[in-house]
């Protein structure tokens, strides 16, 4: 059983407070949208897919606690709450996509003369619960696509060693993970030799979360400093780099955790393939390139303090962007549940696949 970032059962929502990991495993109740917004904004829960799920589920639990007599009032309430939720963190596209789909669903349900307001609410909540189940299935498919691609193109005769950055596992999704899902799939097919995970300063998703997941599942792994990536590639075997994504634009540029861009540059220098793993809906065709992605700035305190103790010199100014953008020319392929695509293929394949779904 993997570590569960989200526990949802019949209208009750709990999240694992990831700010306390790995020292403490503590779940907190999410009873409404305000709780959901705060948990996402403070990064008690994080990871693009998990953010979308917790935001949507926080609305579901709030609606289940409330009662409505009018479908128009319910639809407007849903729209207001979702537009508020997407202000919690701007860069990852998953919550924005979920909000757009759920607002469109609310409009359809309001227009459905056969559904009264109670039926509208129950159908809306059921749709959110289905998102949770779909996320788990999609993650398994991403893992399968990634593992098969790497085994076919990069493994050669031997086992593979993978470098990953940040956390993209069960603590960032509803289950198997994205980049870490590919690693799990490689392990499951006995193709994995070793995993290197970066600390991922300043929130330390790698040291605190990815290392925790890898140790928990007895996956052979080594933690490295963010600054050790080039030396690792120069001195040890790295078959491929696999990272997650918060948003992929139409030309294949990808926003991901700060530090991803420099890993891609160093991978190019060493001739190591660089893959992105993400749900298909992370591809945002409305943005032509990475220049259009809003990059979230986080508080300086997340850099200057470690475990509540200040380590940076008082008075120093800080720049703490949560993400950076890796240009498409540094990306070998993008693993999604619908297949592996080269960045240059997106403009052609994405519209076709979107029309099929
Ligand atoms: C599958 S999670 C995608 C993405 O989210 C992480 O960012 P954060 O921890 O700030 O939410 C990181 O960029 C992961 O790659």
Ligand 1 atom closest to the Cα of residue 179 is 1
Ligand 1 atom closest to the Cα of residue 243 is 15
If you write DSSP's letter for every residue of 53-122 in order, what string do you get? Answer: HHHHHHHHHHHHHS--S-HHHHHHHHHHHHHHHTTS-SS-SHHHHHHHHHHHHHHHHHH-TT--HHHHHH
Residues 204 and 335 in one domain: yes
In this structure, how many other beta carbons lie within 10 angstroms of the beta carbon of residue 39? 25
Q: Is residue 274 part of a domain?
A: yes
In this structure, how many other beta carbons lie within 10 angstroms of the beta carbon of residue 327? 17
Residues 101 and 157 in one domain: no
CATH of the domain at 62: 1.20.120.420
174 contacts 215 by C-beta, under 8 angstroms: no
295 contacts 255 by C-beta, under 8 angstroms: yes
Q: Which residues form ligand 1's pocket by a CB distance below 6 Å?
A: 46-49, 166, 168, 172-173, 178, 205, 243-244, 246, 256-257, 322
For residue 171 the two structure tokens come to 């603590």
Domain total in the chain: 2
Q: Is residue 240 part of a domain?
A: yes
Is the pLDDT at 105 greater than 50, yes or no?
A: yes
Residues 155 and 210 in one domain: yes
Domain extent at residue 121: 6-135
pLDDT in tens, 256-313: 999 999 999 999 999 999 999 999 999 999 999 999 999 999 999 999 999 899 999 9
Kind of pairing, strands 283-284 and 339-341?
unpaired
Q: Is residue 306 part of a domain?
A: yes
Kind of pairing, strands 6-9 and 27-30?
unpaired
Q: Is residue 232 part of a domain?
A: yes
Ligand 1 atom closest to the Cα of residue 205 is 9
In the prediction, which pLDDT does 2 show?
52
CA of 120 to the centre of ligand 1 (A): 33
Active site residues: 246
For residue 95 the two structure tokens come to 């919550």
Longest dimension (CA), the chain: 67
Q: Is residue 29 part of a domain?
A: yes
CA of 47 to the centre of ligand 1 (A): 4
Residues 102 and 178 in one domain: no
Q: ipTM strictly over 0.85?
A: yes
Ligand 1 pocket: which of 48, 90, 97, 174 to mutate (most atoms <8 Å of CB)?
A: 48
pLDDT in tens, 154-204: 998 899 999 999 999 999 998 899 999 999 999 999 999 999 999 999 999
Report the candidate in 137, 217, 223, 136 with the shortest Cα–Cα distance to residue 184.
Answer: 217
pLDDT in tens, 21-70: 999 999 999 999 999 999 999 999 999 999 999 999 999 999 999 999 99
Residue nearest ligand 1's atom 6 by CA: 47
In the prediction, which pLDDT does 6 show?
96
Residues 309 and 245 in one domain: yes
Confidence bin at 343 (pLDDT 50/70/90): very high
CA of 180 to the centre of ligand 1 (A): 12
Residues 90 and 152 in one domain: no
Q: Is residue 153 part of a domain?
A: yes
147 contacts 178 by C-beta, under 8 angstroms: no
Residues 232 and 302 in one domain: yes
In the prediction, which pLDDT does 175 show?
87
CA of 50 to the centre of ligand 1 (A): 9
Residue nearest ligand 1's atom 15 by CA: 244
Is the pLDDT at 1 greater than 50, yes or no?
A: no
Burial zone of 115 (CB within 10 Å; 0-12 exposed, 13-18 middle, 19+ buried)? middle
Q: Is residue 1 part of a domain?
A: no
Residues 87 and 188 in one domain: no
Q: Is the peptide bond before 169 cis (omega within 30 degrees of 0)?
A: no
């Amino acid at each position: 059983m993997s570590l569960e970032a989200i526990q949802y059962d019949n209208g009750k929502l709990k999240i694992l407070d990831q700010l306390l990991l790995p020292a403490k495993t503590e779940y907190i109740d999410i009873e409404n949208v305000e709780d959901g917004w705060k948990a996402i904004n403070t990064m008690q829960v994080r990871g693009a897919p998990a953010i979308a799920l917790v935001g949507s589920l926080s609305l579901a639990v709030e609606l289940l606690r409330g009662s409505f007599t009018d479908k128009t009032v319910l639809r407007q309430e849903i729209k207001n709450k979702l537009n508020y939720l997407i202000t919690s963190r701007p860069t990852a596209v998953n919550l924005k996509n979920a909000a757009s789909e759920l607002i469109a669903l609310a409009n359809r349900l309001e227009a459905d003369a056969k559904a009264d307001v109670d039926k509208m609410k129950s159908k809306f909540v059921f749709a959110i619960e289905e998102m949770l189940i779909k996320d788990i299935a999609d993650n398994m498919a991403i893992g399968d696509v990634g593992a098969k691609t790497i085994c076919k193109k990069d493994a050669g005769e031997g086992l593979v060693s993978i470098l990953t950055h940040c956390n993209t596992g069960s603590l960032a999704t509803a289950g198997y993970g994205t980049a870490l899902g590919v690693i799990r799939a490689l392990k499951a097919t006995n193709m994995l030799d070793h995993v290197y995970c970066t600390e991922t300063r300043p929130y330390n998703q790698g040291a605190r979360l990815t290392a925790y997941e890898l140790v928990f599942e007895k996956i052979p792994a080594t933690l490295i400093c963010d600054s050790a990536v080039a030396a690792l590639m120069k001195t040890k075997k790295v078959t491929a780099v696999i990272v997650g994504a918060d948003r992929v634009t139409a030309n294949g540029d990808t926003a991901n955790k700060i530090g991803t861009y420099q890993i891609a540059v160093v991978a190019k220098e060493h001739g190591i393939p660089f893959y992105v793993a993400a749900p298909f809906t992370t591809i945002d065709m409305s943005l032509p390139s990475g220049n259009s992605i809003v990059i979230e700035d986080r508080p300086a305190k997340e850099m200057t303090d470690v475990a509540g103790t200040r380590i940076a010199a008082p008075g120093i100014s800080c720049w703490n962007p949560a993400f950076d953008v890796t240009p498409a020319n540094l990306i070998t392929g993008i693993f999604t549940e619908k297949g592996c695509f080269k960045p240059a293929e997106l403009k052609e394949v994405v519209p076709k696949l979107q029309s099929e779904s």
